Structure 1
Amino acid sequence: MTEDLDARAKELDREYVFHSWSAQAGLDLPVIAGGSGATVWDHAGNRMLDFASQLVNVNIGHQHPAVVKAIHEQADLLVTVGPATANLTRGRAAERIIDKAPAGFAKVFFTNGGADANENAIRMARLHTGRDTVLSTYRSYHGNTGAAIVATGDWRRMPNQYARGHVHFFGPYLYRSEFWATTPEEESERALRHLERVIESEGPATIAAILLETVPGTAGILVPPPGYLDGVRALCDRFGIILILDEVMCGFGRTGRWFAFEGYDVVPDLITFAKGVNSGYVPVGGVIISDAISATFDDRVFPGGLTYSGHPLAAASIVGSIDAMQDEGIVEHARRIGTEVIGPGLQALAERHPLIGEVRGEGVFWAIELVSDRETREPVGADVIGRLKGALVSRGLVPFSADNRIHVVPPCVVTEDEAARALAIYDEGLTSVEDDLLRRG
């Protein structure tokens, strides 16, 4: 009977569901029927380690009892309410978020997810400054709504360019430096000079905001080099530009900190969030607004809103999640397991496997960059990534891949034993692909 449920799930999916970022014909997707912590399973009970955290959002793990309980209790009390009301649970959620934010932030605008969080942060910056242009990097992803997708730097913006006033620049990425840099310090200095020239060339008085992922995620988990983010902050201050830090993927424990920017001596003007704030148990996102920008709208209408802004089920899940992460030391656990287990384990794999060009990351936010030649750093092709993904899945691990990389992004609650088992699976998968490449010559 259970195998029939898996088959039925696939049948219904193929027949009726239209999937994102995919050509629809020929899709054969895995069935996930349940989960707990860092493990998921299908209806037949086949268990897999979720080292993708679905879309790098299930930070607290699957089915955390405190979050599930909070949603249930709110559902019994009040399932929905309009945004133009005061609601105790919504207020508590905002209070929990502000408690983790830096000094000088006191308001949260709730959205339905990360894309519309970035959309509304851009709107706030433009209205606050009276300027139009938004600068963002080519290696970035900010969501799939009008301005957010055009702010995105990768290929996904190209068929979606409907928004105005966006300019892209190159951020730091030492392994594939655009600036002929050989050290992190050179990369930082030269990337900042490049950004300064872009600002000057576009006209500082036209630029409303610089929008950056604190640690670019889908683009490669590009940990910023020393001095870069505070250098961007200094440029923003000099030219009167709003700094928006996108913490949608890297926030709420993913880097081993509540906010990724806490590790880089920088405070933005607007902070966008989603994903990890409640691990996606209910769709939610938002903008954390600095006092100066919030004051702009004290006597001026903010022309934005969403029917489900601050939805009570989402708000309850935020309260349950932040409280549990704090009470159980989950953020600290993510930092420790990254430093003591995942990081060293991936570096050991890099020493054994010629396919690995670089390993980088922090907390539970890591990337393995795969190359066909370590000297030239030529990226492997999609065929190699496809074979490696197949090898990982067959051994019981849900992988996350992007371009020529495998991202190692388990939930923050992943145990040492689970991490060790995953590292062994990566090792076996890489060995099988390398052996296959040798046989093929």
Structure 2
Amino acid sequence: MIMSDIKEMSLKYNLHSWSAQKAINPTVVTKAEGIYFWDEDGNQYYDMSSQLVNSNLGHGNKAIVEAIKDQADKIPFIGPGYALDVRSEAAKAIVEASGLEDSKVFFTNAGAESNENAIKIAKQYTDRWKIFSMYRCYHGSSAGAGMLTGEPRKFINEPGAPGFIKYDGPYAYRAPKACKFKTEEDISAFYLELLENQIQYEGPHQIAAIFIETVVGSNGILIPPKGYLEGIRALCDTYGILMVCDEVMAGWYRTGSCFAWQQFNVKPDLVTFAKGSTCGYVPLGGVIVSKKIAESFDHEKMWCGLTYSAHPIGCAAAVATLKEYKRLHIEDNVAAQGKVLGELLANLQAKHACIGESRQIGLFSAIELVKSKETKEPLVAFNYDPDGLMNKIIGMLKAEGFATYSHENMIIIAPPLIITEEELRTAMKMLDKVLDSVDNMIQ
């Protein structure tokens, strides 16, 4: 097939997500390997967002590919009610990686489905109906996950089912002007007081769960300040509420540890995951369910089920992926390259007038673009970019060979976890060059 025909057919027959169809010009990809992919004209791109922060081990990992092939030859599908070697192995490996003793896994196909089923599990276990989740979070776009979501992508789901309550999570850079925080603990205390007030207003006896992206992803890589997650855990324990950590994006070594919550002194009741469990080679997600909740279903039916739950090929890919994280010493590489990334981001923030703040943990980072460092005025307004300025900047980056995405006034930098220091430094020079142009735009 001629390459130009591929794009023409794509525009004719495919509906592309989150886009006005007449405004898009999709790149035709012909090859992908390691941290790179290539277009039909032979242009090479550094995959600096790991696609949608899911290609953690890059493109073309042979061990994962072979596991998929072997399972397809052996048993490509059998219903979820049957026990299968790869199902048992995948669940065991995930439970062991979590460190949540005697927990169990309910498998899904993606992050949104994981959060959908976590909602159901929380409601059934607690016999309560209200669910708390943060503003400036993304949990998926299906009916329930879309109502969990706390940013403009939720609007299409509204009014939706009742019982979804939003709370303000910590975002010190854009905290109310009257707030004068001296320490991270001050930030945590302020936002935890707001949350507890809201719990009281909504009736603790009606609240099933508090959902939180352990590290907020596309909405700006918002890292919880010291004591915040511990404070949520304490509130949940006080009021009999379940703590649910959404690790769909932050999980699987993206932040340095296997799961981001492991870097804090907490143990959640439910953990949702997807993306890096198979690095996108095939779809797979799930909910890790703590022992006390899992045991409640020993004699009571769990009202969750999916045709493709624990799909054999997905589970085979997950087993191979988790082995590859260990074989490739990914935790060590994230520690080493995360340090380099942090230094590079600090240098960029000091140099460029357009960077209000950069935030980074492991190989998970974002820069927040502003018109003025003094006023903190965003480069584009919340959910409003009529001139397509951010798309223009992303296009400029892509022209340099730096492929990523933006959300509102944020640029995401989250490369594959196999990236080397040389590759990282080369890619960040591309970002530096484009930010020179952005500085000129705001003068």
Normalised by the shorter chain, which TM-score bucket? Answer: over 0.9
Letter of the structure 2 residue corresponding to residue 191 of structure 1: Y
What amino acid sits opposite 1:334 in the alignment? V
State the 1:102 CA deviation: 2.1
Alignment partner, residue 266 of structure 2: 266
Q: Could you tell me which residue of structure 1 aligns to residue 72 of structure 2? A: 75
| Alpha-carbon offset, residue 186 of structure 1 | 1.6
Match of 1:369 in 2: 368
What amino acid is the match of 2:104? K
Q: 1:398 aligns to what?
A: 403
- Residue 169 of structure 1: which of 131, 146, 167 is its match? 167
Superposition pairs for residues 98-177 of structure 1, below 5 Å? 98-161=95-158, 162-177=160-175
Residues 269-326 of structure 1 deviation map (CA, whole Å, 9 limit, x = unaligned): 0000000111111011000010100011101111111000011110011011000111
* Cα deviation, residue 335, structure 1: 2.2
Matches of 1:26 and 1:116 in 2, distance apart? 29
TM-score (norm 1): 0.96
Per the alignment, residue 26 of structure 2 pairs with 29
Q: Which of 403, 416, 422 is matched with 1:417 structurally?
A: 422
Within 2, Cα distance between the matches of 1:311 and 1:125?
Answer: 24
Q: Which residue of 1 aligns with 2:351?
A: 352
Distance 1:33 1:244 in 2: 39
Q: CA deviation at 1:99?
A: 1.0
Equivalents in 2 of 1:105, 1:244: separation in Å?
17
Distance 1:335 1:164 in 2: 42
Percent identical residues:
42
| 1:195 match | 195
What SS class does the counterpart of residue 46 from structure 2 fall into? strand
Q: Which residue of 1 is the match for residue 221 of structure 2?
A: 221
Give the 3-state SS of the residue equivalent to 1:372 in structure 2: coil
Name the SS for the 1:96 alignment partner. Answer: helix
Letter in 2 for 1:172: P
Question: Does the CA contact (< 8 Å) of 2:108 and 2:306 recur in 1?
Answer: yes
Q: Does 1:286 align with 2:286?
A: yes
1:90 aligned to 2:94?
no
Contact 1:102-1:267 at 8 Å conserved across structures: no
Distance 1:230 1:363 in 2: 21
* Deviation of 1:394 (Å): 0.8
Match of 1:19 in 2: 16
| TM superposition shift of 1:437 | 4.4
Of 40, 45, 49 in structure 1, the residue corresponding to residue 46 of structure 2 is 49
Q: CA RMSD in A?
A: 1.3
Is this contact kept in 2: 1:113–1:275, CA < 8 A? yes
> 1:394 aligns to what SS in structure 2?
helix
Normalising to structure 2: TM-score of the pair?
Answer: 0.96
| Counterpart-to-counterpart distance in 2, 1:432 and 1:219 | 24
On the 8 A contact 1:257/1:335 being kept in 2, the answer is no
Unaligned runs of 5+ in 2: none
Which stretch has the larger CA shift, 16-25 or 244-253?
16-25
> Is this contact kept in 1: 2:100–2:267, CA < 8 A?
no
Unaligned runs of 5+ in 1: none
The answer on whether the counterparts of 2:371 and 2:442 sit within 8 Å (CA) in structure 1 is: no
Name the SS of the counterpart of 2:350 in structure 1.
helix
How far apart, in 2, do the equivalents of 1:311 and 1:74 lie? Answer: 10
Instruction: Name the CA shift for 1:202/1:300 in 2 (closer, same or farther; >3 Å).
Output: same
In structure 2, C-alpha distance between the alignment counterparts of 1:266 and 1:49, rounded to whole Å: 35
